[in-house]
Structure 1
Amino acid sequence: MTTLTIIGKPDCHLCEVASEVVDAVVAEMPDAAAERLEIVEKSIADDPALYERWWEKIPVLLIDGELHTHWRVSPDRLRQALEEAMK
């Protein structure tokens, strides 16, 4: 199982865009691959430790706990990273 974590906050335009990119990339994945992907959404508004670490970089995407990107999400780069992580 591969975990994709989206860290953001409510009413964050870039966070909404990042979620849309994630949704689009996952929708393109074969069903068997998508079933092996867990998407976790976390908010810096709910977790002081996340706020302290990421507040100036949201949205942040982690793949299996490792930083993939922040601020803007490239669909091509995300697709490639997920393919690599799921091998």
Structure 2
Amino acid sequence: MEPRVTFYSRQGCHLCDEARLVVEKVVGDDYTEVDIDADEELRERFTNEVPVTYVDGKQHDFWRVSEERLRAALARSPE
């Protein structure tokens, strides 16, 4: 089964480092991390919004990740 959380980030991003800690606190290592700079389309799409979290394929948060909101989203059944 695929992880429910996808975390879009980039190297050298302090907000990404902070958000990653929250994601890991909530889901451990059960998430997928994607470096937006490795894909031109993702870089163009997310360059000013990283980090971006998706839950069950839908955008959940960007810039900052709220532990409470992430837990609430994961408590809901995947659609």
State the TM bucket, normalised to the shorter chain.
0.7 to 0.9
* Aligned amino acid, residue 76 of structure 1: E
Residue of structure 1 in register with 2:9 after alignment: 8
Deviations 1:15-36 (A, max 9, x none): 0111100111125xxxxxx8xx
Greater relative contact order, per chain length (Cα 8 Å cut-off, separation 6+): 1
In the alignment, which residue of structure 1 is the partner of 2:75? 83
TM-score, structure 2 normalization: 0.87
The aligned residue for residue 41 of structure 2 is 49
- TM-score computed with the length of structure 1 as normaliser: 0.80
How far did residue 45 of structure 1 move?
1.1
Q: Deviations over 1:32-57 (max 9, x none)?
A: xx8xxx41100111011111111100
Matched, 1:25 2:17: no
Unaligned 5+ segments in structure 2 are none
* 2:62 aligns with one of 45, 52, 70: 70
Q: For residues 82 and 15 of structure 1, what CA distance do their matches in structure 2 show?
A: 20
Gaps of 5+ in 1: 28-33
SS of 1:45's equivalent in the other structure is: helix
Whole-Å separation in 1 of the counterparts to 2:26 and 2:20: 10
Structure exhibiting the larger radius of gyration computed from Cα positions? 1
Q: Which runs of 4+ in 1 moved over 4 A?
A: none
